[in-house]
Structure 1
Amino acid sequence: RMLRSVLEFKNTVAREIMVPRTHVVAFEIDTSIDEVLASVMESGHSRYPVYRGQIDQVEGILYAKDLFQVLRNSTEVASLLLADVLRKPVFFAAESQKIGVLLREMQRRRSHLAVVVDEFGGAAGIVTLEDIVEEIVGEIQDEHDEEPPLVYERAPGHYFVDAGISVYDLEEHLGEVICEDKTDFDSLGGMLVHLAGQVPVIGETLVAGSYRVVVLDADERHIRRVEMLRASTEEPDEPKAAAG
């Protein structure tokens, strides 16, 4: 089953896991803030493509948290434009792009969302970082009808890890010590925050023991999931910090 999971992930392309355009909640750039806010509250999503004229012309991504932050701080809500709160540039990915490559590129760009385009350049759908992570661990959850494991071994020396796991439990699973001094934290996420001196952002890379640790999912307060690669399995990028 593990071998099948690895092979399926390796060959899966963006088209297979994307949310198709017909199911995407998106906004025309001239939509009023009141209308946008009502739709955001109703749909409950975190990120929304914003387009000009038609959805094939995506100009930026609206993060719900950015909208809420601006609304809290602005005294001129009536004059606020949707264009004022967009994040750019938009990350576009081909339908045929392998999701392993897409994951790496999203990490590099620190992007949560990619607009998937077809062979003619039209918007076919969207893929989020969460979609890819779910694809990696989802099979185990479906087969056993339970929460994904805290540590998922994709290949020898290559793990996807819930950052809530205790460092002691992770070390027991790995069979090695990744951090000697654990007096200031209990969880892997706490350890990484301690090493970085702040909550690392998505795509940020740190070093713990013999592992290169890449943040896959995080918000302003804590880390949710990381990828761990033994240094010998992949040429590491320049690390941000090292565990002592």
Structure 2
Amino acid sequence: MSAEAVWLFLAEHWLALLAVICLLLLSAFFSGSEAALTATSRARMHTLESNGDRRAGLVNRLIERRDRLVGTLLLGNNLVIILATSLTTSLLIGLVGNFAVLVATISMTVLLVLFCEVLPKSWAIASPDRFALAVAPMVRRFVAVAGPVSALINGIVRRLLNLSGVNVSSDRPMLSAQEELRGAVDLLHREGAVVKADRDRLGGVLDLGELEVSDIMIHRTAMQAVNAEEPPEVCVREILGSPFTRLPLWRGSTDNIIGVVHSKDLQRALAEPGVEPHTIDIVRIAQKPWFVPDTTNLKDQLNAFLRRKLHLAIVVDEYGQVQGLVTLEDILEEIVGDIADEHDLDIQGVRQEADGSIVVDGSVPIRDLNRALDWSLPDEEATTVAGLVIHEAKSIPEERQAFTFYGKRFTVMKRVKNRITKLRIRPAESESAGL
């Protein structure tokens, strides 16, 4: 066919060609809108809506029913693609005859992939929020018209899937909101948008509902307490010489906690006329102890501390036996990290050696070690590093015994009776390289 005949053909069918171009533009619009509205940030849209952006409100209402939105956009996209392909094929029949179907298939595939899929979706994903705000008013009108048809199609699909044994009637997300937020923070940290300290603080807030008091409490073996049966002057000296402002008071045995002494209350009592250290009644100035179960989660315990306006609680097990104590500061440290002041003891329990290994006290909490060294040792079955080694070894190891798990080599350096008090940890790769 000559060039003159081609131009004559195009002049006669310009309206159909214009229709095909418009249909391709509509397909690009549907593809880009789908990509933008499914990738847009709901948190960002909520913020913009709160600031008065009406288009952000439209976006939020559209993505509330994401299945209906996507179904409607796919319906519109498929309709315009089929119509555009049919028109193109009918036009090419008069131009190339029997080769019309082949030429139409190849040309439409190239046009659809490049200009109706890759280009608009790449543009939308590059700036999903801005793209979503721009297309939301037009998409809302289309959803209002074609939404019922999409809902009917979704209902048929759900019924067919239910008959096949696939239950999609309950719209339950695979990840909870906390898991999604944690994953987003971890991703932003790996990309460099969130520093490690901020990631740890956000993770600490999210973990409060998953951790129990027993995970962070000061164990009874490390708990400093005052014996009420000691002479008053000894008790006064012990309380005022302690780095802690609150100390439990016990009588008979450490399981019998009868009060909590605040150093300020003691100083106030000593300042009264005629009161001497050897005459003071420690029990009288002690506050009533507050006992909490060791299974209480940290979120509830934090709220209880704030509600009662107390800073210390005695932790007991299901039999009422004292297991340790927990303070408001212990919970806050799970969020903001270690809170140190000029009176804190400089005992961290973690020491970096020149050979790259880490010497750790057995009582160091796994969570603290993970936070300090950016490790990911599991803390579901054990709270301390020693507890993790015992759990993995299924026994109480002897000194100099070594174990490899979770990519680390743990060597028991010191054991006192049945307690592992010091360990050396090094990467398992470096240990293998040295053999």
Choose between structure 1 and 2 for higher RCO, CA contacts under 8 A separated by at least 6 residues. 1
* Local SS of the residue matching 1:23: coil
Q: Which residue of 2 aligns with 1:28?
A: 227
Q: Which residue of 1 aligns with 2:254?
A: 55
* Local SS of the residue matching 2:247: strand
Amino acid at match of 2:232: I
Separation in structure 1 between the aligned mates of residue 332 and residue 275 of structure 2, nearest angstrom:
39
Amino acid at match of 2:237: A
Separation in structure 1 between the aligned mates of residue 214 and residue 372 of structure 2, nearest angstrom:
26
Distance 1:52 1:104, change over 3 A: same
Matches within 5 A, 1:173-212: none
Separation in structure 2 between the aligned mates of residue 48 and residue 6 of structure 1, nearest angstrom:
27
* Local SS of the residue matching 1:57: strand
8 A Cα contact 1:13 1:96, kept in partner: yes
8 A Cα contact 1:47 1:61, kept in partner: yes
Q: Which residue of 1 aligns with 2:274?
A: 75
Q: How much has 1:144 moved relative to structure 2?
A: 8.4
Q: How much has 1:91 moved relative to structure 2?
A: 1.2
Q: Which residue of 1 aligns with 2:328?
A: 129
Distance 1:29 1:144, change over 3 A: closer
Matches within 5 A, 1:125-164: 125-138=324-337
Separation in structure 1 between the aligned mates of residue 221 and residue 372 of structure 2, nearest angstrom:
31
Distance 1:5 1:130, change over 3 A: closer
Q: Deviation per CA, 1:42-78: give whole Å up to 9, x if none.
A: 3221001111211111111100111111111141323
Amino acid at match of 1:34: E
Name which of structure 1's ranges 38-47 and 129-138 shifts more when overlaid on structure 2.
Answer: 38-47
8 A Cα contact 2:269 2:275, kept in partner: no
8 A Cα contact 1:26 1:50, kept in partner: yes
Separation in structure 1 between the aligned mates of residue 311 and residue 273 of structure 2, nearest angstrom:
26
Matches within 5 A, 1:221-236: none
Matches within 5 A, 1:83-98: 83-88=283-288, 90-98=289-297
Separation in structure 2 between the aligned mates of residue 12 and residue 26 of structure 1, nearest angstrom:
25
Amino acid at match of 1:132: I
Amino acid at match of 1:80: I
Aligned pair count?
A: 144
* Local SS of the residue matching 1:43: coil
* Local SS of the residue matching 1:73: coil
Paired-residue identity, %: 31
Indicate yes or no: 2:326 matched with 1:119. no
8 A Cα contact 1:31 1:82, kept in partner: no
8 A Cα contact 2:316 2:324, kept in partner: yes
Separation in structure 2 between the aligned mates of residue 38 and residue 29 of structure 1, nearest angstrom:
13
8 A Cα contact 2:317 2:323, kept in partner: yes
Separation in structure 2 between the aligned mates of residue 9 and residue 107 of structure 1, nearest angstrom:
15
Amino acid at match of 2:292: A
Q: 1 or 2, which has the higher helix percentage? A: 2
The unaligned stretches of length 5 or more in structure 2 are: 1-184, 186-198, 341-367, 374-435
Matches within 5 A, 1:4-15: 4-15=203-214
Amino acid at match of 2:257: V
Distance 1:72 1:91, change over 3 A: same
Q: Which residue of 2 aligns with 1:66?
A: 265
Q: Deviation per CA, 1:139-158: give whole Å up to 9, x if none.
A: 8x98689xxxxxxxxxxxxx
Separation in structure 2 between the aligned mates of residue 56 and residue 144 of structure 1, nearest angstrom:
33
Q: How much has 1:40 moved relative to structure 2?
A: 2.2
Separation in structure 1 between the aligned mates of residue 272 and residue 313 of structure 2, nearest angstrom:
28
Amino acid at match of 1:135: E
Q: Which residue of 1 aligns with 2:303?
A: 104
Distance 1:134 1:116, change over 3 A: same
Amino acid at match of 2:307: R
Q: Deviation per CA, 1:90-119: give whole Å up to 9, x if none.
A: 211111100110111111111110000012
Amino acid at match of 1:106: F
* Local SS of the residue matching 1:30: coil
Q: 1 or 2, which has the higher strand percentage? A: 1
> With structure 2 as the length reference, what TM-score do the two structures score?
0.31
8 A Cα contact 1:24 1:126, kept in partner: yes
